[in-house]
Copies of this chain bind each other. A is one copy, B any other.
Amino acid sequence: MPKIVDKAKMRDTILDAAMTVFAEHGVHASSVSDIAQAAGLAKGTLYLYFDSKEAMTTAIVDRHFAALEAQIARGAPGETLNGFLEDLRRTMDIPAEQSSFHRVFFEVFGPSFASDAFTSHVAGFFDRLGAHYAERITHLQDLGEITPHHHAPSIGRVLASMMDGVVLHRGLFGIAERRHQRMIREAVAVLGDGLRPLPPGPE
């Protein structure tokens, strides 16, 4: 007898509206009322689907990072260092369109770095990314493709940081396509030579 609503879809609708409002004025300058208005709902209704404003921002980030995470998981295990390096290169070689999102992301969610909840969400993503790399590195070490004396978890995590730096700079500072290509090519080459156990073969 009661009225029925697709809660998942409703949450998505609200998140979309929130993202629109946030993009316009920034998170902290946007009130919950603003979001409600953009969603065509009353403020109280939002609280039926989210516990707080912060829960909304967190959910938006979740959504974004969940997509990223799926992308990572798709990465095949790989039996060669070169394959691994190629994966790194491809990860940093994001399309210009997607890279401009980072600027918006920081513009919109920069203020959210005040929140511990928000920060640990993002931190969790990079920890998982680092762990993923560590796993692959360990595997390649077992195969003799990577020098064994490296501490895989540390390398994996710092690799995630470094790659984030490269991708971030590309997006934030609008580094041109050609220049970016050269940068990531050199970076991958240096990292490869650093990880490879044998002296680099001649080109």
Chain A contact patch, size range? 35 or more
A199 touches B (CB below 8 Å) = yes
Contact of A164 among B25, B115, B165 (CB under 8 A): B165
**A10-18, A35-43, A66-74, A104-112 - the one binding chain B:** A104-112
Please tell me if the beta carbons of A194 and B190 are within 8 angstroms of each other in the complex: yes
Contact of A150 among B149, B179, B186 (CB under 8 A): B186
Please tell me if the beta carbons of A122 and B173 are within 8 angstroms of each other in the complex: yes
- Which residues of B lie under 8 Å from residue A199 when comparing CB positions? 198-200
Of residues 30 through 76 on chain A, the ones whose CB sits less than 8 Å from some CB of chain B are none
Contact of A163 among B25, B103, B112, B165 (CB under 8 A): B165
Which of A111, A155, A200 has the most chain B CB atoms inside 10 A of its CB?
Answer: A111
Q: Report A169-187 CB contacts with B as 1/0, cut-off 8 Å.
A: 1101110000100111111
A161 touches B (CB below 8 Å) = yes
- The interface residues of chain A, by DSSP majority, are classed as helix
- Which residues of B lie under 8 Å from residue A149 when comparing CB positions? 203
Complex: A67 Cα to B26 Cα, angstroms: 29
**Which positions in A face B, CB cutoff 8 Å?**
25-29, 103, 106-115, 119-120, 122-123, 126, 147, 149-151, 154-155, 157-158, 160-166, 168-170, 172-174, 179, 182-187, 189-195, 198-200, 203
Pull 18 A–B residue pairs with CB atoms less than 8 Å apart, ordered by A.
A25-B114, A26-B115, A103-B114, A108-B111, A123-B173, A126-B169, A147-B200, A150-B186, A161-B183, A162-B162, A162-B165, A162-B187, A164-B169, A165-B165, A191-B194, A193-B194, A199-B199, A199-B200
